[in-house]
Amino acid sequence: MDQQDLKEMVGEAAAAEIGDGMHIGIGTGSTAEAFIRALAIRVKDGLSVHGVPTSERSAQLCHELGIPIGTLNDLGPLDMTVDGADEVDGELQLIKGGGGAHLREKIVASASDRVLIIVDESKIVGHLGAFPLPIEFVPFEADYTARMVQGMMCEVLERDVTSTQRMDADGLAFMTDSDNFIWDFHCGVISDPESLALALDTVPGLVEHGLFVGLADAVMTASVEGVRTIHRGMVE
């Protein structure tokens, strides 16, 4: 069983959680796409559902597969959001944004009664930080703002932090669906994600960061042993 098999397994399990008539947030990334495909099968079988996608890519896939979509203004607040993550720690704190959609993902998650994160077991970590932290900036003076953020993070984390601007396949600056830039910050272990998130939230020109603290209600993980759901506050 390879990683794609695990993604499909957890995607199917998450799709089974969706009830008739629900309004749901639909995440972005390869695991979220496995969920979208599994959900589309249920929709074809008669499930009534409306989704708010968190990226143009997810919106296009929903359109192709026949999943009705709308906006938060029309459908919110949402019953549930299903999304993936790049890292998940034991307190269900997340790093997201590897696909560049964390701004919209955070907006949609914040408008949901329940947030279910779906991952394969490789995304479960003891501490956040091995995966670079994506941070989205408005284009105006983005280089300067990113440099200031890097310095601040060095102070908060009490270690050297490096960063690189994300580029696309053509070697040009990666642009998000909201026409912003992303820098990826190589932090090392983030022992206090909440404090770092609060510090980042104060920076003008920083649109959104990939730390998701206090948003995930449950994490569904897939391994060769099967699918397991960890709820917030669950004693391991």
Q: What pLDDT score does 193 carry? A: 98
**Where do the domains of the chain lie?**
3-121+214-224, 133-208
What is the distance between the alpha carbons of residues 144 and 150, in angstroms, rounded to a whole number? 10
Identify the pLDDT of residue 234: 66
The answer to whether the CB of 81 falls within 8 A of the CB of 17 is no
34: which DSSP letter? H
In tens digits, the chain (236 residues) has pLDDT values of: 799 999 999 999 999 999 999 999 999 999 999 999 999 999 999 999 999 999 999 999 999 999 999 999 999 999 999 999 999 999 999 999 999 999 999 999 999 999 999 999 999 999 999 999 999 999 999 999 999 999 999 999 999 999 999 999 999 999 999 999 999 999 999 999 999 999 999 999 999 999 999 999 999 999 999 999 999 876 44
The second-level CATH assignment, the architecture, of 133-208 is: 2-Layer Sandwich (3.30)
Hey, which CATH number is domain 3-121+214-224, 3.40.30.10, 3.40.50.720, 3.30.70.3270, 3.40.50.1360?
A: 3.40.50.1360
Query: Which residues contact residue 154 at a Cβ distance below 8 angstroms, ignoring those fewer than 6 apart?
Result: 160, 161
Residue listed under structure tokens 């143009």: 56
Q: pLDDT of 131-187, one tens digit each?
A: 999 999 999 999 999 999 999 999 999 999 999 999 999 999 999 999 999 999 999
Residues classed as catalytic: 105
For residue 209, CA distances in Å to 182, 196, 199, 200 come to 9, 10, 11, 7
